[in-house]
Structure 1
């Protein structure tokens, strides 16, 4: 008799960490099998520190994991995948932030991102199934750049339409489509 283990859903937030009204935070509180990478206390802009935090969160989980990343959390995930070999069941990569192009005011500048290890964005195929949700009007990444990343990663690309950066500023608290996309990875 085989045992079926439900994957743990691990949220990988972006540089702004946990926002109470963000869809990831709301989804985590809704699901009994969800956890989140905790916010950093130090080195908040360091890619290496973010990757280490993801790896530490994964080390606390036994069994299969589905990563649910948003914005720079997607970049944390792809940097992690290049450096670590833990088996991942799948990943939902929503609204990746293009950290190789200038971001809007209020976000780190391109030089700070480079100095903190975010360049270059890994473009190797991911070693696990993944779905990239791309917005047509995301101020943090063009649809074309995200589509190219998805292709390079071997991800299924889902055109989300005009959803901005898929965050509270774009009108998203809850994002019901996330559960549907996660279900496709299970």
Structure 2
């Protein structure tokens, strides 16, 4: 990441990322990773989540940029909405890229009924580098949906095979491959 300090903001999804989740493990292993605290993990509201993300980006001084996001599930949709509808040009300029893992489809039956305002998903090109990582058997978002998002967002698309929702149950441990993909975004 150049000679500057890495600022990685972790954006978990619905109900946060618990013990054993690759996001939680990254945060425990490296002080450069900071979790964005959402106002209500169990009853997500798009506006509140996007404003929390905006405040987290604002808290990083421009001199400490670039910022990279490590987003999972509903955190991915939060980034897409934030970039297209909430962020100022100055805020966007701080962001080098985003790793978007397990993008959920609001039309899927498993999508959390408590999540408010996350549809329709914005399909504008993201103003920073991005990688969408998908599983072939994710119950929250199928391959065609994640590929469509990746294409619209201008993202590289990576298939990790049958890994479910790419969470703690997926057995990824510290998931070094994904850390490498994230690091590539800040260069």
TM-score bucket (shorter structure): 0.7 to 0.9
SS state at 1:131 partner: strand
Distance 1:43 1:139 in 2: 19
Query: By how many angstroms is 1:43 displaced?
Result: 8.1
SS state at 2:98 partner: strand
Unaligned 5+ segments in structure 1 are none
Report what 2:96 is aligned to: 89
Distance 2:178 2:161 in 1: 14
Report what 1:69 is aligned to: 71
CA root-mean-square deviation: 1.8
Distance 2:141 2:42 in 1: 24
Distance 1:151 1:42 in 2: 29
Number of matched pairs: 177
Distance 1:4 1:173 in 2: 28
How far does the alpha carbon of each residue in 1:15-44 deviate from its partner, in whole angstroms, 9 at most, with x for none? 111312211010011113111101424883
Query: By how many angstroms is 1:100 displaced?
Result: 2.6
Report what 1:25 is aligned to: 24
Q: Which runs of 4+ in 1 moved over 4 A?
A: none
Distance 2:76 2:107 in 1: 13
Distance 2:68 2:25 in 1: 17
Counterpart of 2:108 (choices 101, 108, 111) is: 101
SS state at 1:89 partner: strand
Report what 2:51 is aligned to: 52
Report what 1:149 is aligned to: 149
Report what 2:180 is aligned to: 180
Distance 2:24 2:42 in 1: 22
TM-score by length of 1: 0.88
Unaligned 5+ segments in structure 2 are none
SS state at 2:150 partner: helix
